[in-house]
Amino acid sequence: MELLKQRILQDGRSLPGGILKVDSFLNHQLDPNLMFKVAEEFRRRFEGVNVNKIVTIEASGIAPAIILGYIMQLPVVFIKKKEPKTMDNMLVSEVRSFTKNRVYTVCISNSFLTANDHVLFIDDFLAYGNAAMGMIDLARQSGATIEGMGFIIEKGFQHGGDRLREMGYNVQSLAIIESLENCQIQFR
C-alpha cells in the first residue's frame, strides 16, 4: 500500500534494535484518514473471503478494526490483555512480547468467539507472530475458523509472517519491512 509506505518513510523512525516508531500516526497518535484508507485496503484484500466477525487485540488493533467493521458491516471483538474480573466464560492464552520482554495473558469471552465464527484477524504489527499465535490458540479452543489475517505493518526480518504463511494462513500485510539495519527503513 503505497500511501502507507510513504507515510512510514515520512513519519516513522527507526531506532536501534529493530524498533520502528510509528507513534505519530499509528499506535499512539492516530490519523483517522489513514486508518480509513487502511481499512479500505483490508476490505479489498479480503474481498470474497467468507467472514462473519473481525477480531483484533487491544490496543492498537482497535482503530483499524472498528473502521473495517463499519465498512464491512461486521461485529468487532477485541482480545483483552488481562483477565478482567467481571468476565466469565473466558478462553485464555499466553503471548510472549519480545518488544516488551514479558509474557502476558490474552483472553476472549466464549460468547463472542464460537465454533460458528469465521474470523478475520486484524492487528497493527506483525513481528514474531506471537499475538497471532495467541489468536490461533483462542480460535482452536473455541472451534472458530480463521479465514484471514491482516496486518498494517509486517517486520519481515522477524519472520512471524513466514511462520503464519507456512501454516497455511491467508496473511495480508499492507507494508512489509525487509530491514531496519543501520536504522534505514527498507521495504520488501
- Contact residues: a second copy, CB under 8 A: 15, 19, 21, 23-24, 28-33, 35-36, 58-59, 62-63, 66-67, 69-70, 73-78, 80, 84-87, 99-100, 108-109, 111-112
Residue 23 cell numbers, joined: 507513534
Closer to a second copy at the Cβ: 67 or 136? 67
Question: What CA–CA distance (Å, rounded) separates 38 from 72?
Answer: 13
The angle at the Cα of 74, spanning 87 to 97, to the nearest 5 degrees, equals 55
**Closest distance between a second copy and the C-beta of residue 45, in Å?**
19
Residue 93, classed as helix, strand or coil, is strand
In DSSP terms, 78 is beta-bridged to 56
Among residues 85, 37, 35, 32, which one has the least CA distance to residue 56? 35
Residue 102, number of CB atoms within 10 A of its CB: 9
Instruction: Give the shortest CB-155-to-a second copy separation in angstroms.
Output: 14
Nearest approach in angstroms of CB 52 to a second copy is: 12
Cell of 79: 482480545
- If the CB atoms of residues 77 and 171 are measured against a second copy, the closer one turns out to be 77
* Residue 69 or 161 having the CB closest to a second copy: 69
70 vs 187, which CB is nearer to a second copy?
70
Closest contact distance (angstroms) between CB of 59 and a second copy is: 4
